[in-house]
Amino acid sequence: MRARTKSLNPAGKKHKFGKAWMHEHVSDHWVHEAQRLGYRSRAAFKLIELAARDKLLRPGMSVVDLGAAPGSWCQVLREQLGPRGRIMALDLLPLEPIAGVAFVQGDFREKATLEALEAALAGHKVDLVLSDLAPNISGIESADQARSVYLGELALEFSSAWLQPGGDLVVKAFQGEGFAELQGAFRARFDKVHARKPKASRDRSREVFLVGKGFRPA
């Protein structure tokens, strides 16, 4: 799920913000690197850094990628897991096909989508769950933060059912109300929990990634 902004904010200043964002985007080092290396978005470098720092990826793993579109994390997974790796991706938006990546399109919050994902897993538990899920932006900070925490909770709930013992979970979160509680819920299920802000995350963003290492089944 990718955040969307309204065409105009209440003060009518969206155009100015849009120009500033576009200037930042086209001059962004990570955007240029993604284009140079053939990644679909700059987010690829977030996963590359997280994976290296926390030893998340190894050949032959089974991984679920939630919020996968446009697919840069799947590209990184395909490179690092090798031909025996199993990748299942999900997003509300369509995903241009990637060889060796199975895809379910739908809203992760809906029961039918979750059932379709679970059916695709065919009873096989996974080694790693990645969640880059983010809510559509309403502009109301408290509501957007609550929706973000809720998506993190859903990813944790899904992982509790589908991770192998000792498996790992990475969830995008935003610092603010409910973040500490989400971090505490991670600590109840994982041996180690880290809050990471990759270099490819924009400095002004409250985005961090909660990394849970060593899943402990209930």
Burial class from Cβ neighbours inside 10 Å (0-12, 13-18, 19+) for residue 159 reads: buried
Nearest to 46 by CA among 73, 74, 85: 73
Distance CA 37, CA 31 (A): 10
At 113 the pLDDT is 98
Give the domain ranges of the chain.
14-215
Catalytic residue among 14, 19, 172, 192: 172
Q: What is the DSSP string of 76-89?
A: HHHHHH-TT-EEEE
Token pair recorded at residue 198: 């990759």
| 170 pLDDT higher than 50 | yes
Rounded to two decimals, the pTM is: 0.87
* Confidence band, pLDDT 50/70/90 cuts, at residue 155: very high
| 145 pLDDT higher than 70 | yes
Nearest to 129 by CA among 88, 174, 78: 88
Is the domain spanning 14-215 CATH 3.40.50.150? The answer is: yes
Is 46 annotated in the active site?
Answer: no
| 86 pLDDT higher than 90 | yes
